[in-house]
Structure 1
Amino acid sequence: MRPMHLRFSYDAEVDESDLLATLAPRLRQFTAVARTEHMTHAAEAIDVPQSTLSRGIARLEHDLGVALFVRTGRAMRLTRAGRTLLRHAERAVAELDAAAREIDADADAVRGRVALGFLHTFGAEAVPRLLREFRRTHPDVRFDLAQGGNDAILERLRAGEVDLCVTSPPPPDPGLVTAPMYEQELRLVVPAEHPLAVRRDGLPLAAAATAQFVGYRPGFGLRSLTEAWCREAGFVPRMAFEGEDGETLRGLVGAGLGVALLAPSAHRTPGTVELPVTAPRTARMVGLVWVADRPAGPAVRVFRDFLRRSGPALLAGR
């Protein structure tokens, strides 16, 4: 037999994928014999016939071109090449076992993982309410949370990085499924000292045509909606400041730097006033979105059903 080098030697016509195909199904057999140093005991440990195990080890040695064991009676002693293989094989088997456990957990509706994408505007209050309520009955489900603008989180959904998205406006994409959840009314937020602040009973959006606006960056759903509503009101908004976080935008309004169309907040930002808009109707549909033909694990399906059933009220804070 030819010697084993630092990396397993093999015939020229056998490539690395062939070597992996040879090693992978026999690693557990090899490690069982190496640990017990006895063919019969190893066969009992992994519940295979001794003849099958013996043939598997012989075939592995033949394919690798080295002796892995020295046989002394019924005992099996590792050769130097066998010790080298065992060191790597134990790590490989442990990794495969860990992967199997993780896959099993992810497939379990009680212990699985859900990757949820959502708009920044739902991060401070709405999504924590959702998760708190869901985990009352499913405390071991794990969550990967991804916040971003509408375009960004939908792209992550299409790429398979998230399982579900809570977003607005619903995307006109035939490859995605959207379940409408609730309609959210947007308010015009103005500085407390702004002339418009006295219009507590509401005002048409056209009244803010000459004001400077602060708003979300392009790519955020609320940015495109703001521009559409302003066009409907007969003007193009002058964006003095752009950002990605609603509370930051509210702070800019409170500092007197402009007005903004924002989702209502349970916590009033000092120096701001929220005004209802009477025309046009500034309301957006919030939807739950997932990929149409992508299989979903049990945990994802359970959480999706929960969102469709209880999400509208929880997102709206009712």
Structure 2
Amino acid sequence: MSTPLTREAAAPAPVRPAELDADSWASVLTPRLAQFAAVARHEHVTRAAGELAVPQSTLSRAMVRLEADLGVELFARRGRTVSLTPAGRRFLGSVERALTSVEEAAESLRSDADPATGKVAFGFLHTLGSETVPALIRAFRADHPGVRFALVQNYGEAMLERLRAGDLDLCLTSPIPDAPDLVTRALDEQRLRLVVPEDHRLAGRRRVRLEEAAEEPFVTLEPGYGMRRIFETLCARAGFTPRIAFEGEEAETLRGLVAAGLGVSLLPPPTVLRPGVRELEVSSPRAVREIGVAWLDGHRDTPPVAAFKEFLLRRRGHLLA
């Protein structure tokens, strides 16, 4: 009678991959990667099980199942002692890189949430970037010197999209959006100016009614900018539809076009007065833009984000530099 072969003496049986969806590889394999790396490092199932604080039998079954799922033998076994096959060594390199990447991502998230040294992703309008936002951050960092900022300048709609995508924690925007998925708070308002060339017929005036510029060509921001919507609303209140001569993406560029005599514009006040133009107060209609802060409803703040949000809310009424 022939004697059955032991596992050590027998030729290894071919391992057939289990039926798996391609989309499920990550979800199936991920829980076993750290177990595989531990067994590979110790070359001993019992010692690896002790490190992982799991039963040895559980770990053995997990490695057998991993090989079955992959359809590849990863280990050459001699009792509880194991060594990697060539396929196992190749797989180990990828597993170690994946585990290192997860570890680094987790450490980065923990670092960003640290109350003392964490990070705030903060968006704001271009017109607030030269003076208002630097002053805000300087004042906040007086009490939170280690907090880092990722700053994003953009127009309102683009910032709200990034807020919804999770790229931003908070943003300063205008007009203040009314959306069910966002929480907003009004912080301040900014008076707008009618900007005219220095040789314009209205340049000698200090204050004007917006309707007095009804026949003028306007240079203004492109559609999609919050300031463009405010401008069109104010013109409608003044009783006219503006004639648009030029559209741009940045307020100081528009001032340059005004200085060149190419039209007039309705803009927030500049940080530094520009030669070649006059900035006139608008007496009617009341020409202001409201600045507010927005964040995603239901989003849990990290400690540094919560601290900066509270700081902004305390600045209500005196946000603008």
TM category, shorter: 0.7 to 0.9
Deviation at 1:119, TM superposition (A): 1.8
Identity of matched residues, %? 52
Alpha-carbon distance change, 21 to 237 in structure 1, aligned in 2, over 3 angstroms: closer
User: What CA deviation, in whole Å up to 9, does each residue of 1:217-264 have, x standing for no partner?
Assistant: 112121122122222223222221111101111111122222111111
Q: Secondary structure at the match of 1:143?
A: strand
Alignment-derived partner of residue 152 in structure 2: 146
Residue among 40, 43, 54 paired with 1:37? 43
Structure 2 match to 1:10: 17
Equivalent residue, structure 2, for 1:273: 278
Structure 1 position 245 matched with structure 2 position 250: yes
Instruction: Give the direction of change, closer, same or farther, for the CA distance of 1:38–1:245 in structure 2 (3 Å limit).
Output: same
Q: Is the 8 A contact 1:178 1:290 kept in 2?
A: yes
TM-score by length of 2: 0.84
Deviation at 1:18, TM superposition (A): 5.1
Counterpart Cα distance in 2 of 1:132 and 1:81? 55
Q: Is residue 297 of structure 1 aligned with residue 297 of structure 2?
A: no
Gaps of 5+ in 2: 1-11
Alignment of 1:202-241 (within 5 A): 202-241=207-246
Aligned-partner residue type, residue 158 of structure 1:
R
Aligned residue number for residue 92 of structure 2: 86
CA RMSD of aligned residues (A): 2.7
Q: Distance in 2 between matches of 1:83 and 1:277?
A: 74
Q: Which amino acid aligns with 1:316?
A: L
Structure 1 runs not aligned, ≥5 long: none
Looking at structure 1, the residues matched to 258 and 42 of structure 2 have their Cα atoms a distance apart, in angstroms, of: 73
Conserved 8 A contact 1:107-1:298 = yes
The aligned counterpart of 1:103 is 109
Q: Which runs of 4+ in 1 moved over 6 A?
A: none
Once the two structures are TM-superposed, the CA of residue 139 in structure 1 deviates from its matched residue by: 4.1
Write the distance in 1 (CA, Å) between the matches of 2:112 and 2:95.
26
Q: Which moved more, 1:100-109 or 1:42-51?
A: 42-51
| Correspondence list, 1:11-90, <5 A | 11=18, 13-16=19-22, 19-39=25-45, 41-43=47-49, 45-48=51-54, 50=56, 52-71=58-77, 75-90=81-96
Using the TM superposition, name which of 36-45 and 189-198 deviates more.
Answer: 36-45
1:73 to partner: Cα distance: 7.1
With the length of structure 1 as denominator, give the TM-score of the two structures.
0.85
1:309 pairs with one of 308, 314, 321: 314
The one of 282, 295, 303 aligned to 2:287: 282
Q: What is the CA–CA distance in structure 2 between the aligned matches of 1:158 and 1:280, rounded to whole Å?
A: 34
The answer to whether the aligner puts 1:178 opposite 2:157 as a matched pair is no
Q: Which moved more, 1:23-32 or 1:130-139?
A: 130-139
Matched positions, count? 310
After superposition, what is the alpha-carbon deviation per residue over 1:75-113, rounded to whole angstroms, capped at 9, x for unaligned?
532122221221211111112212221232233333433
Question: How far did residue 157 of structure 1 move?
Answer: 2.7
Distance in 1, Cα, partners of 2:71 & 2:159? 52
1:255 to 253, 256, 260: 260
Is the 1:120–1:244 Cα contact (8 Å) retained in structure 2? Answer: no
Distance 2:14 2:261 in 1: 79
> CA–CA distance in 2 between the matches of 1:235 and 1:61?
75
Give the structure 2 partner of residue 128 of structure 1: 134
**Residue 188 of structure 1: CA displacement?**
1.3
